[in-house]
Amino acid sequence: MYSLCGGVAAMALGIYAARSSTKVAGNLIERALSRPPLVRETSKWSLLGKTRMNGGLLANAVAFIRGKKLSPPDKIILQDELQTRLDWTTNSLINAQKNGTPMKHLLLHGPPGTGKTLFARTLAKNSGLDYAIMSGGDVGPLGKDAVDEVNKLFNWANRTKNGMILFIDEAEAFLRKGRGSASGEISENARNVLSSFLHHTGTESDKFAVILATNVPSVLDRAVLDRVDESFLFPLPDQKQRVEMIAHFFKRYITESTKIDVDQEIGSAAYRERLAMQLEGMSGRQIAKTILAFQSAVFGSGSQKLTKGLADSIVEWKLATIQEDADSQELREKIIGY
């Protein structure tokens, strides 16, 4: 009886110890390999295949093995001065990590659809550093758990060996003014999250660089702006940029991806110049939508030809309904003097 009881007790203790050790090991593996829930996309390998990178690391690996060329990143068309500044800053960021010196934190701001997110994503994916992309809009719904998730995010970023670019889109969603206000502009949870962010970015780091993107920099907390080393305004495209964008999107959506027959006049440089003048005040995204509407109009008509008359009708319709465009609505709601 003593032997039986001892055996059962030993077996129970063994099962309990095995379960406990498995749980501890699982937590350690999860901590080391998985990405924080706030991260939407990252280059770091993640547990259970959560990581995505241009459709997934697996898809890229398969494409490489099969000898296929991966689709290139979207072309970024910016003003020459802004492009030069960004090139210098990008090189500085990459070389700082290589030399073990602190990396800069950047702020990208400007009207919707002007290339802020596209630039940050392209920089992150082509820098050779690890990257993680999150949206500020994902923080609020977490409520009281948001502080823990932000802490996990920065602790995770600090463990990277290659250096990390942490891109935060829609930064104004959780880094707003009001932390010290008695009027209750932001909730207690929001103040705690902001304080956590400021704590992790208060000291210069050679582990990660934060890139903030926002349409409304005026609502960011002053302490957040104090963390920013360089700020870049992404303005609406000028005439030269609009001509380049029209040519780029025509090639992408009309001539290369479809069998649409295009009127000779529409393909001329003179037509692109005139169209660019008509589209003054549009963002790059709105210009892309206009050219994509040409494609949809041809397919909708059951024809395979893009005529000047059809193109002119689409442009007139776009100009007449521009106030209903989402980018225009967002800009009106958050107008800050652009």
Along the 338 residues of the chain, how does pLDDT read in single tens digits?
A: 878 777 777 787 777 766 766 555 544 444 445 668 888 888 776 543 443 333 333 333 333 333 333 334 457 888 888 888 888 888 888 888 788 889 999 999 999 889 898 888 888 777 778 889 999 999 989 989 999 999 999 999 998 888 889 999 999 999 988 765 544 567 888 889 999 999 999 988 989 999 999 999 999 999 999 999 999 999 999 999 999 999 999 999 998 877 889 888 888 899 999 999 999 999 999 999 999 999 999 998 888 889 999 999 999 998 988 766 666 655 555 544 44
Q: Delineate the domains of the chain, giving CATH numbers in brackets.
A: 48-233 (3.40.50.300), 239-333 (1.10.8.60)
Q: Which helix (H) or strand (E) holds 167?
A: strand 164-169
DSSP H or E segment with residue 336: none
Residue with tokens 């295009």: 262
pLDDT of residue 146: 92
Which DSSP string do the residues of 298-315 spell out, in sequence order? HHHHT-SEE-HHHHHHHH
Q: What is the pLDDT of residue 327?
A: 63
pTM score:
0.75
Q: How deeply is 154 buried, as exposed, middle or buried, from its count of CB atoms within 10 A (0-12, 13-18, 19+)?
A: buried
